[in-house]
Amino acid sequence: MSPVSFPKTPTLIFVRNCLLGMGILMFSLPSVSQAADPVITNSDAPADGILKVQLEELWRIGGEEDEENLLGVIDRVLVDDDGNVYLLDIQLVEVQVFDADGEYVRSLGKQGDGPGELRNVRGVLFLPDGTVGMVQGFPGRIVKVDLAGLPTGELKPGGNDPSAGGFFALRSAASSGGRLVLGGAKITRGDNSRTATNFIAAFDQDGAENVRYLESVNVRDFGKMEFSEKGDFFPGQGGWALADDGRLYVAPARNEYRIEVHGPDGGLERTITRKYESWRRTPVETDRAREMMMPFRRRNRNAIKLVMEPTERDILDIRLDPRGQLWVLPSRGVREQDEGIHSTWDVFDSSGAFVRQMAIACEGDGQKDALFFPGGGLVVLVREHADAVYAFRGRGADNPETEEEDAEVRPLEVICYRISP
């Protein structure tokens, strides 16, 4: 696929000032019947071309000049019905809440072992019971607080049955349409090995699993330490999205542009693909990826074999908009962008047809600065996100034995936008 560029002929650009949440309804689509073939194969060109999405800044915090707001590493964003924005800080282990004008309101959670506290945090979500859930990676659990920050309990995947054996690690979580879905692994240990059963599954409010969408089993031999980007891949945060009707959209393979659609019962309903040329890594990109594969094992790195891929992961992120359209961010969508464009997303309609690309126009670099779509017509940009996460993980955030000097990175800046009418 050639680098993304905007059509020079104005008639090829379809623009209509009509937006519906993050669906960004630019024009009326022709009706498309449900494909009978369970595999929907698309070309590399969207039917309706590329649309440029303009954003209007509402407020910003952080950066070099902000002395009031302390930000560590912002890695997830939510918004509630009142327009309050929830910023998950994985370094400070808390959720900072800002109102619709960007004024600080309160913080939820903190580091510790007491009620409403946790030791490490991987995600945040609004739970079906109306509470805020903070996802602890290991041991895997969800710490629940109300909107005022008061503890309301916790949820452990697998429930509290000690006879079940093994322990859980969580990597991702989502809640939609009254359903809670978690991604992680159940880990058991042998004499000289460990077995991780990776899963994406729906759980009830007691932590009992009721639907499994996807799984893979990985056995690690401690006598032969090898980590493979392709072989050990399992989709985490950004690799899957949950629809209101209980369907799960997931990119299950690292080196394929392929999205599986699983029904509410977990069964595979169809597969969406398009013709795509993988992005071949530069030496710098390969070195950085190697560092991120093994952030907490630097003392014995020579004893561990890393099997790196020559190309970047094809699908970096997926999301669903309020109209049920699937947005996919490919590896090329954050590279070689036109000036003023942060990233370009592929958009598929409800039938799986590749209908258009959306180019998000705002400041920032798609490889360095993260873009979040929390809902409510808002888009939140976190400047310096990639370097901050790299430094945070590289110095061993969850491993006090790691002896690494803190890398110097610019302070994070958070910019809240809304879609321009």
Write the DSSP assignment of 134-168 as a string of letters.
EEETTTTEEEEE-TTS-EEEEE-TTTT-GGG-SEE
Cβ-contact 90, 398 below 8 angstroms:
no
Question: Is 271 a member of any domain?
Answer: yes
Orientation angle between helical segments 283-293 and 385-394, nearest 10 degrees: 50
All residues at 6 or more sequence positions from 250 whose CB lies less than 8 Å from its CB, including other chains:
200, 213, 214, 235, 239, 240, 241, 259, 260, 262, 318
Question: Is 28 a member of any domain?
Answer: no
Cis amide bond preceding 411, omega within 30: no
Cβ-contact 252, 288 below 8 angstroms:
no
β-strands 104-108, 110-111 pairing: unpaired
Give the separation between CA 414 and CA 369, rounded to whole angstroms. 10
Extended strands (E) in 28-116: 39-42, 50-62, 74-79, 85-89, 94-98, 104-108, 110-111
End-to-end CA distance of the chain: 31
Question: Is 2 a member of any domain?
Answer: no
Q: What is the CATH number of the domain that holds 367?
A: 2.120.10.30
User: Residue 292: its pLDDT value, please?
Assistant: 84
- What pLDDT digit, counting tens, does each position of 84-127 carry? 999 999 999 999 999 999 999 999 999 999 999 999 999 999 99
Give the separation between CA 32 and CA 49, rounded to whole angstroms. 17
Give the separation between CA 229 and CA 281, rounded to whole angstroms. 13
Give the separation between CA 198 and CA 220, rounded to whole angstroms. 13
Give the separation between CA 329 and CA 257, rounded to whole angstroms. 10
Extended strands (E) in 64-115: 74-79, 85-89, 94-98, 104-108, 110-111
State the pTM of this model: 0.87
User: Residue 222: its pLDDT value, please?
Assistant: 81
Question: Is 176 a member of any domain?
Answer: yes
All residues at 6 or more sequence positions from 300 whose CB lies less than 8 Å from its CB, including other chains:
none
Cβ-contact 167, 156 below 8 angstroms:
no
Token pair belonging to 229: 């980007």
All residues at 6 or more sequence positions from 114 whose CB lies less than 8 Å from its CB, including other chains:
none
Neighbours of 226 (CB within 10 A): 12
Give the separation between CA 154 and CA 115, rounded to whole angstroms. 9
Give the separation between CA 173 and CA 123, rounded to whole angstroms. 7
User: Residue 28: its pLDDT value, please?
Assistant: 34
Pick out the chain residues at pLDDT < 50.
1-36, 297-298, 396-407
Question: Is 310 a member of any domain?
Answer: yes
| Domain of 190, in residue numbers | 45-419
Give the separation between CA 92 and CA 71, rounded to whole angstroms. 8
Question: Is 49 a member of any domain?
Answer: yes
Question: Is 15 a member of any domain?
Answer: no
Tally of domains within the chain: 1
Question: Is 172 a member of any domain?
Answer: yes
Cβ-contact 47, 354 below 8 angstroms:
yes
User: Residue 252: its pLDDT value, please?
Assistant: 98
Give the separation between CA 374 and CA 421, rounded to whole angstroms. 18
Cβ-contact 351, 32 below 8 angstroms:
yes
